[in-house]
Amino acid sequence: MRIACVAGARPNFMKIKPVVDALDYAGATTDLVHTGQHYDAAMSDVFFDDLGLRSPDVHLGIGSGTHAEQTARVMIEFERHLATTPTDAVVVVGDVNSTLACSIVAAKAGLVVAHVEAGLRSRDWSMPEEVNRVVADRTADLLLAPSADAVENLRAEGYRDDQIHLVGNVMIDTLLANTDRARQRPTLLGLDLEPGGYGVVTLHRPSNVDDSATLAALVGALADISRDTPLVFPAHPRTAGRLAAMQLPTTLRVIEPLGYLDFLALQSDATIVLTDSGGIQEETTALGVPCLTLRENTERPITITEGTNELVGTEPDAICAAARRVLESPPEARCPDLWDGQAGVRVAEALIGHLSASQRLRPTDLI
């Protein structure tokens, strides 16, 4: 049984790790395919080192480009890879351009496609990741959902129950496996921070950072909040260039993007996190750290109904008011069902069970 496991961008690496581990443990042959969508040491290499993820078996070397350029290059190179490597199934994770590209190629090659993180919906079609999610789900034979709301979304879109598997959250497998190790690092010391004495910011969504007036308004709100609670802002390359041109108070510290363990250490001792990331909404819920999401919608409403997240939009006064309220009265820590560190194992069971049932393999080939 040979399974290609695809990762392309920063938020994919911590999702693919528990899946590769569980498939390897179950006796499958896995090819770890890195598309190269993210390629900087800080956006890619450090995650392999921090997570103990083996070097990619295949590197497609795609790099940056427009959406069409990036997606097309991944499709061409992934198709070439599949043409020379007999493969039974392809696992794609999340909602980045690499997810979309590889799911389409795999479906057209007639392979079993498994989408990990299926069923999340922001219902905002202007968000590139929403297009990627919907198309990846449509190509997938196996829809591996992280939470009950995602299962409901898939049922409402007409997917069959035998395609849908509620497996839990693979990103939280990695978080639970690494939190103790992360907290032993001298991350806070290196940044001259005290546990519980600071907040964390991340912003990289095109809708928040590509327009300078929108970004300036958000930064104004963050500067206000930072006068009471100092904020540390590890900036994505997309955002960093734009921030460099702005005047920021010393209480709003922009730093380089952090590796997985350092960012986990930073999040876990923060009093508040302000973000537009998808994954950070989930990680803060699992850590019990208050999170304000600076967007108009979220594909992860479970982190609001069953976690520590609050959707506050992008209006500066609303952000400042919410931050004051949350700092005075933090939400109760709680975590959705099956965010328990075993999601990767459930993914492997579902995929191996599917391949076996589809008689692509004899049962004796499985282990």
Instruction: Between 91 and 101, name the residue whose CB sits nearer to ligand UD1.
Output: 101
Minimum gap (Å) between residue 37 Cβ and ligand UD1: 5
Instruction: Between 26 and 254, name the residue whose CB sits nearer to ligand UD1.
Output: 254
Residue of 38, 204, 236, 354 marked catalytic: 204
Minimum gap (Å) between residue 129 Cβ and ligand UD1: 5
> Is 204 a known active-site residue?
yes
Q: Which amino acid, one-letter code, is at 163?
A: Q
Minimum gap (Å) between residue 28 Cβ and ligand UD1: 27
Instruction: Please choose, from the candidates 125, 101, 263, the residue with its C-alpha nearest in 3D space to the C-alpha of residue 182.
Output: 263
Q: Which residues bind ligand UD1 (CB under 6 A)?
A: 9-11, 37-40, 43-44, 64, 95-97, 128-129, 204, 236-238
What is the C-alpha to C-alpha distance for residues 363 and 350, in angstroms, rounded to an integer? 14
Output the CA–CA distances (angstroms, integers) from residue 157 to 91, 120, 133, 150, 285, in the order listed. Answer: 21, 12, 13, 11, 27
Instruction: Between 63 and 197, name the residue whose CB sits nearer to ligand UD1.
Output: 63
Minimum gap (Å) between residue 36 Cβ and ligand UD1: 9
Asked whether the CA dihedral 353, 358, 359, 361 is positive or negative, the reply is negative
Asked whether the CA dihedral 142, 144, 148, 154 is positive or negative, the reply is negative
Hey, how many other C-beta atoms are within 10 angstroms of the C-beta on 180?
A: 9
Asked whether the CA dihedral 45, 262, 337, 134 is positive or negative, the reply is negative
Q: Which residue has the tokens 């004899």?
A: 362
Instruction: Between 40 and 157, name the residue whose CB sits nearer to ligand UD1.
Output: 40
Reported as half-sphere exposure (CB side, CA atoms, 13 A), residue 142 has a value of 29
Instruction: Between 128 and 313, name the residue whose CB sits nearer to ligand UD1.
Output: 128
Instruction: Between 73 and 236, name the residue whose CB sits nearer to ligand UD1.
Output: 236
End-to-end, the C-alpha distance of the chain in Å comes to: 9
What is the C-alpha to C-alpha distance for residues 257 and 41, in angstroms, rounded to an integer? 10
Phi-psi region at 63: left, alpha or beta (left = phi > 0; alpha = psi -120 to 50): left
Minimum gap (Å) between residue 38 Cβ and ligand UD1: 4
Minimum gap (Å) between residue 9 Cβ and ligand UD1: 4
Hey, how many other C-beta atoms are within 10 angstroms of the C-beta on 360?
A: 14
Mind telling me the catalytic residues? 204
